Amino acid sequence: MLSLRRKRGPGKYLGLPVSIVRLFNEGYMANRVVIGSQWGDEGKAKVVDFLTLDADIIVRFQGGANAGHTVEVGDQKFVFHLIPSGIMHADKVCVIGNGVVLDPIQTLAEIADLHTKGINPEGRLFIANNAHVVLPYHSTLDKAKEKKAGKAAIGTTGRGIGPCYSDKVNRIGVRVGDLMDERELRPRVEAMAKVHNEEFTVMYDVPAIDPEVVIKDYLELGQKIKPFVIDVSEYLYKAVKAGKRLVFEGAQGTILDVDQGTYPFVTSSNTVAGYASCGAGLGPTALDEVWGVVKAYTTRVGNGPFPTELLDETGDTLRKIGNEYGATTGRNRRCGWFDAPVVRKATVVNGLTHLAITKLDVLDTFDTVKICTHYECDGEKLEFIPNQLSKVGRCTPVYEELPGWKQDTTKCRSYDELPENAKKYLQRMAELVDVKIGMISIGAKRDQSIVIDAGLAKGLKL
């Protein structure tokens, strides 16, 4: 089989157009990394659910229950926080990799919820034994820190994500495999309790948490999740060798990445595509394509800079039509126009090969739509959102205004059926960030998807 693994982006391979190469390449299916290109909630789960039709295994590789991933199939709506969205397909395997911080209580609640909806994850959900565990110390600390920070709060989800990742890097964390063996768990919880209980009582005026209770509860939880726990790295290595196709499901978004985002108003993990390799325990040669999910406008939950934010009626209209309320915390999502410097940054730091543009339908009723093409900052033209927070604050978005299409797109099933002005808007987005469009989403349902990439369309059955 001719391999496209070294090929990046559109264009030619061995002098042949890619579409022709694909003809010679019957059976080739890429492993795809799907990441958020903005501040999260781009519709990653909808895109993952769709691309899952063309895959065998779906892998979460970072983040934790701070994620809220919504999938609508028929009349049913599912919101996943930890379990990969692919679990709804009865013939697919789902994996939670070592890069995730796992809350066992949340995991078991999601499994129980799946059972009530007639879905059985047993035998096809696997959890890495070296993923870190979110303990009550972490969520307590998360909330206490936010409360104390007052106006400077990050606006976290309160799910203990930051403190859990801190303990991991600080080498005092507890890992999933430890929950199955008291000899491992006891000394780790005791050491962690010492650090955090002192912090709670001295710095935050929060009651200490008894390590004996934590040890007892988490040994019990360990027994409940034991049937799902494996060495994920070994499992995925063998799966790739056997020709299985993978979809890596990112959480959060690029501008929430701890290195690339609007630090410190970010989450505590690397959300970028390269981390799919680290967080799944699989070498980067297994990653073929990187799909950047891009909302047709921009949203952000929590605090921190947002250059194209609309604090007016237009912002409220986007929120209302787009139903922009947090899937994890229920908070209002802040809304604004499409921001090319944000998605350009995502293009670079993720190495995007495709765009999946979602929620185009939300713009259906607008007379005109605006696109921020670049920023002006300290007399300079900026094409990328800057790394320094104060500099982001000084950026003025420069807009282009395009005519709206004033037509319902939710029933369109091919690119040709889309209104001309919607096509112009999409083309301008793709042109500004220099990445080809792989799919367009015009509604929350699985079939409200328009496939552009020919190779993709070939393997898909709805």
Give the active site residue among 41, 54, 257, 361: 41
CA-nearest of 108, 72, 116 to 96 is: 108
User: Which stretch, 41-49, 122-130, 340-348, 363-371, contacts ligand GDP (CB under 6 A)?
Assistant: 41-49
Q: Which is nearer to ligand IMO, 61 or 425 (CB)?
A: 61
CA dihedral 111, 113, 119, 123 (to 10 degrees): 10
Q: DSSP assignment, residue 110?
A: H
Q: Which is nearer to ligand GDP, 38 or 98 (CB)?
A: 38
Q: Does 443 bind ligand GDP (CB under 6 A)?
A: yes
The least distance separating Mg ion from the CB of residue 328, rounded to whole angstroms, comes to 7
Residue count, binding to ligand IMO (CB under 6 A): 23
Residue written as token pair 């009530």: 116
The least distance separating ligand GDP from the CB of residue 146, rounded to whole angstroms, comes to 21
Q: Which is nearer to Mg ion, 327 or 377 (CB)?
A: 327
Q: Which is nearer to Mg ion, 62 or 129 (CB)?
A: 62
Distance CA 80, CA 91 (A): 18
The least distance separating ligand IMO from the CB of residue 44, rounded to whole angstroms, comes to 6
Residue written as token pair 């999260």: 40
Q: Which is nearer to Mg ion, 63 or 163 (CB)?
A: 63
Q: Does 327 bind Mg ion (CB under 5 A)?
A: yes
The least distance separating ligand IMO from the CB of residue 260, rounded to whole angstroms, comes to 13
Distance CA 321, CA 301 (A): 17
Distance CA 179, CA 324 (A): 37
Distance CA 133, CA 69 (A): 20
The least distance separating ligand IMO from the CB of residue 269, rounded to whole angstroms, comes to 8
Q: Which 389-408 positions form the footprint of Mg ion (CB under 5 A)?
A: none
Distance CA 45, CA 71 (A): 6
Structure tokens at 417: 């059926």
Q: Does 438 bind ligand IMO (CB under 6 A)?
A: no
Distance CA 141, CA 361 (A): 40
Distance CA 200, CA 193 (A): 10
Helix ranges (DSSP H) in 281-336: 313-322
> Among 18, 251, 355, 382, which residue sits at the site for ligand IMO (rule: CB under 6 A)?
251
The least distance separating ligand IMO from the CB of residue 456, rounded to whole angstroms, comes to 23
CA 190 to chain centroid: 33
Q: Which is nearer to ligand IMO, 257 or 453 (CB)?
A: 257
C-alpha to C-alpha distances, 166 to 11, 134, 161, 172, nearest whole angstrom: 42, 11, 9, 9
> Among 89, 159, 345, 374, which residue sits at the site for ligand IMO (rule: CB under 6 A)?
159
Q: Does 47 bind ligand IMO (CB under 6 A)?
A: no
CA-nearest of 224, 252, 248 to 236 is: 248
Residue count, binding to ligand GDP (CB under 6 A): 21
Q: Does 68 bind Mg ion (CB under 5 A)?
A: yes
> Among 162, 279, 292, 455, which residue sits at the site for ligand IMO (rule: CB under 6 A)?
162
Q: Which 350-369 positions form the footprint of ligand GDP (CB under 6 A)?
A: 358-359, 361-362
Active-site residue 41, yes or no? yes
* Contacts (Cβ under 8 Å, ≥6 apart) of 392: 262, 305, 307, 385, 386
The least distance separating ligand IMO from the CB of residue 18, rounded to whole angstroms, comes to 30
Q: Does 257 bind ligand GDP (CB under 6 A)?
A: no
Q: Does 109 bind ligand GDP (CB under 6 A)?
A: no
Would strands 338-339 and 437-441 be described as parallel, antiparallel, or unpaired? unpaired
> Among 13, 40, 94, 102, which residue sits at the site for ligand IMO (rule: CB under 6 A)?
40
Residue written as token pair 């609309």: 310
Judge residue 143's burial from the number of C-beta atoms within 10 Å of its C-beta, 0-12 exposed, 13-18 middle, 19 or more buried: middle
Give the active site residue among 49, 54, 56, 69: 69
User: Taking a C-beta distance cutoff of 8 angstroms, is the pair 431, 444 a contact?
Assistant: no
Amino acid at 425: Y
- Mark residues 37-56: x for contact with Mg ion by CB under 5 A, - for none: ----x---------------
Structure tokens at 161: 């994500």
Question: Quick one: residue 350, left, alpha or beta (phi over 0 = left, psi -120 to 50 = alpha)?
Answer: alpha
Q: Does 69 bind ligand GDP (CB under 6 A)?
A: yes
The least distance separating ligand IMO from the CB of residue 28, rounded to whole angstroms, comes to 29
Question: Quick one: residue 282, left, alpha or beta (phi over 0 = left, psi -120 to 50 = alpha)?
Answer: beta
Q: Does 70 bind ligand GDP (CB under 6 A)?
A: yes
Question: 96 - beta bridge partners?
Answer: 60, 127
Q: Which 67-126 positions form the footprint of ligand IMO (CB under 6 A)?
A: 67-69
Which residues lie near Mg ion (CB under 5 A)?
A: 41, 68, 327
Q: Which residues bind ligand GDP (CB under 6 A)?
A: 36, 40-46, 68-70, 72, 327, 358-359, 361-362, 441-444
Q: Which residues here bind ligand IMO, judged by CB under 6 A?
A: 36, 40-41, 66-69, 154-157, 159, 161-162, 251-253, 256, 267-268, 301-302, 327
Q: What residues are labeled active site?
A: 41, 69
